[in-house]
């Protein structure tokens, strides 16, 4: 299974970035092999509006089934929901730890956004 994790860096040992739409990197990790693809999210991080929507579309396009991040706003959540991508929010630590918790099935999927919309 592929999992998207928002990251401050480009490694499995990088810190998770709590932001979704404006995280500098999003790592698309294969939970079985730990192979991963680094997506540079910088163009999106500087988006004028709707960074979360763009990031959500990208995560879906990359084939991720789950997004793991700190905060997910209502528009990003609606987009992920439409795409069938589940969300695990409020996570901290390293990307590797997040992947481990989901492999062990120790996650609770979010039922909605945990952050208000930005204006």
Partner 1 sequence: MIISVASGKGGTGKTTISVNMALALGAGVELLDCDVEEPNAHLFLKPVIERSERVEVPVPLVDLKKCTFCRKCSDICRFNALAVVGKKVLVFQELCHSCGGCMAVCPEGAITETGRELGTVNFGARGDIRFINGQLRVGEAMSPPLIKRVRAEADLQLITIIDAPPGTSCPVIAAMNGADFILMVTEPTPFGLHDLKLAVEAVRLLGIPCGLVINRADIGDRKVFDYAESEKLPVLLTIPFDRRIAVAYSQGKNIVDEFPEWRERFGDLFRKIEAIIKDRGEAVSCAK
Q: How far apart are CA 89 and CA 6, in angstroms?
A: 10
Positions 51 through 80 that interact with partner 1 (CB under 8 A): 51, 53-54, 56-57, 60, 75, 78-79
| 32, 33, 46, 48: which one binds partner 1 (CB under 8 A) | 48
> Considering the rule CB under 8 A, would residue 84 count as an interface residue with partner 1?
yes
> Considering the rule CB under 8 A, would residue 109 count as an interface residue with partner 1?
no
H-type alpha helices, 13-90 = 42-45, 51-61, 74-83
- DSSP readout, 67-85? EE-S---HHHHHHHHHHT-
> Considering the rule CB under 8 A, would residue 112 count as an interface residue with partner 1?
no
Q: Which is nearer to partner 1, 34 or 82 (CB)?
A: 82
């Amino acid at each position: 299974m592929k999992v998207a994790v928002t990251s401050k860096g480009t490694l499995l040992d990088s810190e998770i970035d709590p932001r979704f739409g404006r995280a500098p990197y999003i790592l698309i990790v294969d939970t079985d092999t730990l192979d991963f693809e680094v997506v540079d999210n910088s163009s999106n991080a500087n988006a004028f509006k709707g960074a979360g929507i763009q990031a959500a579309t990208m995560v879906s396009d990359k084939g991720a089934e789950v997004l793991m991040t700190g905060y997910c706003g209502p528009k990003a959540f609606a987009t992920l929901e439409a795409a069938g991508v589940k969300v695990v929010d409020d996570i901290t630590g390293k990307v590797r730890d997040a992947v481990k918790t989901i492999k062990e099935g120790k996650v609770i999927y979010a039922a909605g956004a945990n952050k208000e919309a930005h204006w």
